[in-house]
Amino acid sequence: MTQTLTIALAQTTQSVGDLSGNADAMLEWRAKAQDADLIVFPELQLIGYPPEDLVLKPALIERAGDELLRLAKATGDGGPAMLVGTVIANRGVLFNCVALLDEGEIKTVRQKRELPNYGTFDEKRLFAPGPMPDPIDFRGVKIGVPICEDVWYPFVCAHLKQKGAEILITPNGSPYEIDKDERRIAHVCAARVQETGLPIAYLNRVGGQDELAFDGASFVMNGDGVLVHQVPDWREELRITHWEREDDTWHCVPGDIAPLCPYPEDVYSAMIVGLRDYVNRNRFPGVVLGLSGGIDSALSAAVAVDALGADRVWCVMMPSRFTSQDSLDDAAGCAKMLGVRLDTIAIEPAMDAFDTMLADVFTGRGSDITEENIQSRIRGVTLMALSNKFGHMLLTTGNKSEMSVGYATIYGDMAGGYSVLKDAYKTTVFDLSRWRNENKPAIGLGKAGPVMPERVITKPPTAELREDQKDEDSLPPYEVLDPILHGLVENELSVDTLVARGFEHETVARIERLLYIAEYKRRQAPPGVKLGSRNFGRDRRYPITNAFRTS
């Protein structure tokens, strides 16, 4: 009877749809783990996660089968077996699976039972639920393999325990959310360990995929509930774990406990990873963005530099007659601190041209938000021209507070390919800016030291589209607005509930109305990295035409 096992946990990234590339990467990781008995990869590692409707293509499923066979044959060299996440079709029905590859063969397959169908997940429309999985008999050890969502509920792990499982290994594709690592450890896996008495190895991927960022943060917990391995978050790592049997009970030998990024470094790291992989995997040479001298564009530029390096970030200042000297100076100061290229393109000639073009038809009507939006759209057109001419992706700079209430110009400052602040409320933007001015992220490519002048953080926010404009002319102070939005968006609270918590009824009702009528804008907004529990896009899917109000 086997008394020891060496299991390698490959906390890796992946590229959705790059089947051969993902398979090659797995073989490279396996070559680094030659002393292991088994190497484990995250959920759907061969396909990439989340694959969305890509898995409905029969050609993808066929090629995935070919690559799985290639991986299986590679295990015929006597090296470590592989536990690989993939998709397998059975009579036209798709299953989210893991396959044990050993001795040159596909030894066995286990199917995911619990299919998430909330928030960012829609697996029930793609996959069929598998039967309750039995443990895998691997070299005399019964290993239970609950796949991702299977471990968030007690049923699958309880069944595996009843069927004789001795160790639980759970491959995951678990996207980052604020405080989610604590939930995984303290509220999910600790509960399964307490219920079953079995040790558990939790493996998660890292990397960005469109609007999702995966933070890794894999770990091992023994049957007594003690955390014995903690893999760092936000970077790839091969963690070798050693297991021993004593008195018919398996435990993992303690290893390194890496500290995880605290708030707000974790949020900032998610932005870096999301942007870096989006730009690189879509093969953009870099990004271009408008640098206004305000905090949103300054933070966006800082994240871009930390994600891509200063040489791949191009900033453009586009002043108008309403642009203050402070803004000009702050934009220049920010660009100098970051070490990025800064060009200045004045938009006054275009503003004059539009005034002339529209003068006859606008006769008798005074200036209003129309002229303000024209300025924003001129800037959007200018930046898109640079993007088209030189190939850089246009990075938008709007935050979640603005997008919630429609305080953004469609086809203007909303124009672009990606937004790192899309799920960050304005108060979070301030937190991140203060933090980055005093800290350098572990995974960042930028310089240590401040990334923006202090005045960028302390001055009142303004769009500078008219004389002496301030955000608070149109919106409540952000320390009032953001808690209201958090209640309406993240928690789906009613106006009356928020009023009972101390907010003014008129203010909350107005914000709820603005939230709903801005839905059409958000439908046309670029993607952006998910940070909280209810991001606009994948998590929160509201009808555009909507007459319901709670006020």
* Domain chopping of the chain, boundaries: 4-252, 265-471
Q: Residue 5 has what pLDDT?
A: 96
Options 67, 114, 123, 148, the catalytic residue: 148
- For residue 466, the model assigns a pLDDT of 64
Which pLDDT score is estimated for 82?
98
Strand order in 418-419's β-sheet? 341-344, 313-317, 287-290, 393-396, 418-419
43 is catalytic: yes
The one-letter code for the residue type at 530 is K
Residue 468 has pLDDT above 80, yes or no: no
In this predicted structure, which of 121-130, 148-157, 375-384, 425-434 has the lowest mean pLDDT? Answer: 121-130
pLDDT at 64 over 80: yes
Q: Can you tell me the mean pLDDT for 230-243?
A: 97
- Whether residue 190 is predicted with pLDDT greater than 70 in this model: the reply is yes
CA 473 to chain centre: 33
CA proximity to 289, closest of 259, 273, 265, 312: 312
Asked if residues 54 and 63 have their Cβ atoms less than 8 Å apart, the reply is no
Question: What pLDDT is recorded for position 344?
Answer: 96
Lowest mean pLDDT across 101-105, 202-206, 498-502, 533-537:
533-537
For residues 226-236, give the mean pLDDT.
97
| pTM value surpassing 0.85 | yes
- Decide: 295 and 456 in contact? Cβ < 8 Å: yes
Predicted confidence at residue 498, as pLDDT, reads: 95
Q: What percent of the chain is modeled with pLDDT above 70?
A: 98
Low-confidence winner among 96-110, 284-298, 313-327, 452-466 (lowest mean pLDDT): 452-466
The percentage of the chain sitting over the pLDDT mark of 90, rounded to a whole number, equals 85
Residues 90-101 as b/e (b if ≥16 CB within 10 A, e otherwise) read: eeeebbbbbbbb
pLDDT at 469: 65
Domain 265-471 CATH (choose: 2.60.40.1250, 3.40.50.620, 3.30.70.270, 1.10.3720.10): 3.40.50.620
Average pLDDT for 429-444 = 96
Dist. CA 277–CA 211, nearest whole Å = 10
| DSSP code, position 184 | I
Q: What rounded mean pLDDT belongs to the chain?
A: 94
So what's the pLDDT on residue 464? 62
Residue 551's pLDDT is 76
**Active-site option among 67, 97, 112, 177:** 112
Residues 165-174: tens digit of each pLDDT = 999 999 999 9
Identify the architecture of domain 4-252 in CATH. 4-Layer Sandwich (3.60)
Reported as a pLDDT band with limits 50, 70 and 90, residue 465 is: low
pLDDT exceeds cutoff 70 at 125: yes
pLDDT value at 60 more than 90: yes
pLDDT of residue 339: 97
- pLDDT tens digit string along 380-422? 999 999 999 999 999 999 999 999 999 899 999 999 999 999 9
Does the pLDDT value for residue 204 go beyond 70?
A: yes
Q: Of the ranges 85-99, 419-433, 459-473, which one carries the lowest mean pLDDT score?
A: 459-473
43, 149, 372, 512: which is the annotated catalytic residue? 43
Residue 463, pLDDT > 70, answer: no
- Average pLDDT on 227-232 reads 97
Say whether pLDDT at 89 is over 80: yes
Q: Is 382 helix (H, G, I), strand (E, B) or coil?
A: helix
Whether the CB-CB separation of 47 and 60 falls below 8 Å is answered with yes
- Mean predicted confidence (pLDDT) in 258-275: 96
Other beta carbons within 10 angstroms of residue 22's beta carbon come to 26
Q: Is 200 in a helix, a strand, or coil?
A: strand
AA identity, residue 295: I
